[in-house]
Amino acid sequence: MKLWDKGYTTDNIVERFTVGNDRELDLKLAKYDVQGNIAHAKMLQHIGILTEAELADILGALGEIAETIENGTFIIEESFEDVHSKIEHELVQKIGEAGKKIHTARSRNDQVLVDLHLYAKGEIQSLKSAVQTLFKTLIERAAQHQDVLMPGYTHLQVAMPSSVGLWLSAYAESLIDDVILLNAAYKIADQNPLGSAAGYGSSFPIDRGMTTELLGFETMKYNVIAAQMSRGKMEKSVSFALSSVAGTLAKFSADVCLFMSQNFGFIGFPKELTTGSSIMPHKQNPDVFELMRARCNKIQNLPAEIGLITNNLTSGYHRDFQMLKQSLMEAIEVLKDNLEVCNFMLQHLQVKEDLMNNPIYDYLYSVEEVNKRVMNGMAFREAYQEIGKEIMAGNFNPEKKVEHTHEGSIGNLCLKEIEEKFERCY
C-alpha cells in the first residue's frame, strides 16, 4: 500500500531503490507516528471533519496499534512503503471508512517531519540521561583519586604536574558543553511542523496550535515552508550535538589508550576487560577504547555527511532527505552504546599511585621551582633563566611538592561547583 497510490504499479527496481530500508528504520518512528495520528485526529474532530464517534473509533484502533508497537509485534510488511501507510491500512482494517479520513489536511511530508521531531526529542533526552550517568561516575572517580599526581603534557612532552582527579574532572566538565549543544538541538526539534502538509499549508481550517499543545511541543514552526525546510536542518543540528559528545569520548579514549600502555603505566583495567593477542601471550589490549575512539570519530563525520546531502537543495521537499534517517539513527544508537560502555569501564578503572617517584618526571617541577623563587622576591624572568641553567647543567633537584590552591587546579578541583554547573545546564 502506498499513500500516493493512483491505480498503477511501480516497477520493482524503482520500488527497491526508492524504498530502501525505510521499513526497518520506520519501526523506530512507529510510536511517534501513532502519537501524531492521535493529535491529528483530535484536531480533525475539533474542526468538524470527524464526528465524535469516528474519533472514538480511531483513538481505540490507534491504542491497539500502540500496544503492538510496545510489545514488539508490530511489523511493516514489504507490501507497505513505510510506517505511515501501514498504520493507515491498520486503521481502515479495524474501523472501516473512518480510518480513510485520517490523512485529511495532511501530507506524508509533515507526517515524517513530526515523527522525526518527536523521535529526536526523545532520543536527546535519552542521550542526556546517559551523559549524566557518565558525568556522575567521572566526578566520583575524580574525588576518589584527587590526590594522586600524574604527569601533564604539552606537545606530548612532560610539562607540569597534573592529577588523576584533575584529568577525570576535566572530562566531566567538558560534558557540560556537550549538554548545552544537546539542549540547543532539543530546542530546534521542539517545534511542531504538523499542518505544513506538503510545505504550502492546507485549505482546511486546521488548528495547528491545538496539535502543538497535544504533542507537547514548546512552539510550532509557523511558516509552512520553514517547517519543511527544517528537514535536514534539524538532523544536522542534532548531528552537531552528537558529534560534540563523541568528540569528548574520542579524546578520553585516546588518553586511556596512551596512559595504560607500558611506556606510561598510569592506569589499567582488570584483565577481563581487555583483549589478548593471537601470538603475543603478554598482551592486554585496550580494544574497548580503540573501538570507542573509532566509532566516535565516525560520528564526528556525521555533520559533514548531512551537509553534503542537503547543502545544495532548494526550498521544498526533496527525496534526498530520506538518506539522512539511517545515518542519524545509527549514530544515536552507537553513541548511547559508547556512553554506557565508557561508564562501565570507568567504574573498573585502576590507578597507579606512586608513579611520580620516577626521575623521568623531575622536570615536571621546574615551573614549581620558578614560582617558588618568584614568591621569595626574585623576578620571574631571572628565576626562569636560573632554573633553565640548572636543568641544562644537570643540577636540577626539585622538591617534589605541589601547592596549587586556585579554582580548578590540582589542589582545588571545584567538583561541587562543576556538579552545580552541570545541573544548571541539564
Contact between 170 and 152 (Cβ < 8 Å): no
Give the cell for residue 194: 504538523
Give the cell for residue 274: 581487555
**Cα separation of 244 and 181, whole Å?**
8
* Interstrand relation of 350-351 and 149-154 (parallel, antiparallel or unpaired): unpaired
**Cα separation of 354 and 351, whole Å?**
9
Give the cell for residue 394: 644537570
Give the cell for residue 253: 579514549
Per the annotation, the verdict on 174 as an active-site residue is: no
**Cα separation of 232 and 314, whole Å?**
12
Candidates 155, 203, 278, 406; catalytic one: 155
Dihedral-angle region of residue 219 (phi above 0 means left; psi in -120 to 50 means alpha; beta otherwise): beta
Per the annotation, the verdict on 277 as an active-site residue is: yes
**Cα separation of 222 and 324, whole Å?**
24
CA dihedral of residues 235, 241, 247, 253 (deg, nearest 10) = -100
Residue 8: is it exposed, middle or buried by C-beta count within 10 angstroms (0-12/13-18/19+)? exposed
* Interstrand relation of 350-351 and 267-268 (parallel, antiparallel or unpaired): antiparallel
Helix, strand, coil share (%) of the chain residues, nearest 5: 65, 5, 30
Burial state string for 390-425 with b = 16 or more CB within 10 A and e = fewer than 16: eeeeeebebeeebebeeeeebeebebeebbeebeee
Candidates 79, 129, 277, 315; catalytic one: 277
Cβ atoms < 10 Å from Cβ of 195: 27
**Cα separation of 94 and 86, whole Å?**
12
Listing DSSP states for 106-175 in one string gives: --HHHHHHHHHHHHHHHHHHHHHHHHHHHHHHHHHHHHHTTT-EEEEEETTEEEEEEEHHHHHHHHHHHH
Give the cell for residue 98: 473512518
Rounded to whole angstroms, what are the CA distances from 419 to 141, 194, 274? 13, 38, 31
Catalytic residues: 155, 277
